[in-house]
Amino acid sequence: MYEVELKHRADHDSVRTKLEEMGAEHTDSRRQVDTYYSAPHREFADTDEALRIRREVPDDGETATKLTYKGPLVERESKTREEHETSVESESALEGVLSGLGFEPAATVEKDREFYELEGYTITLDSVAGLGSFVEIEQETTEDDVAAVRDGAIELLSTLGLEAGEQIRTSYLGLLLEDAEE
């Protein structure tokens, strides 16, 4: 599967108002803490890959843990990449497996997220610690439908009053690391 994603800095109040006017359904709110790992056999920053453990705490308070691999970006017009994700029963066991294989925690990204659904897309309002407010529009698709899904996401971004040309293709992790270097 491929995840087509557009990301943009945005004022949440104005986007939330537009989403309500458009009939978007608020589906969830949750806190996510993502720990990214470095690999012993290659530099993920150079290959544009990511491996992370995500801890999610939804409004109902029941924590879930997922392991995610994100492949390199596959096009210039969006943040489209191959993604594989699975639920994890034991976070401590997973940390032990990764450590045993030489993977080490590299950085942590913390965010509060509000999820909306509209026209088959997930629209997420993100408040990222140390970075600010963003909106993400995403949908999973097959390789054959990447262009159509991307074009639909660009149209939705425009309808929300945001410029597609100003989207951010850098991950939150990348943005945090850039800020740390400055």
- Which one is catalytic: 2, 36, 37, 172? 36
Which contacts (CB < 8 Å, 24+ apart) does range 63-71 have? 65/91, 65/94, 67/94, 70/3
Q: Annotated catalytic, 36? A: yes
CA–CA distance, 40 with 24 (Å, rounded to integer): 43
Which contacts (CB < 8 Å, 24+ apart) does range 37-40 have? 37/98, 37/103, 37/104, 37/105, 37/106, 38/103, 38/104, 38/105, 38/106, 39/102, 39/103, 40/101, 40/102, 40/103, 40/104
The beta-strand segments (E) located in the chain are 2-9, 25-38, 50-58, 64-73, 81-87, 104-118, 121-128, 132-141
Active site residues: 36
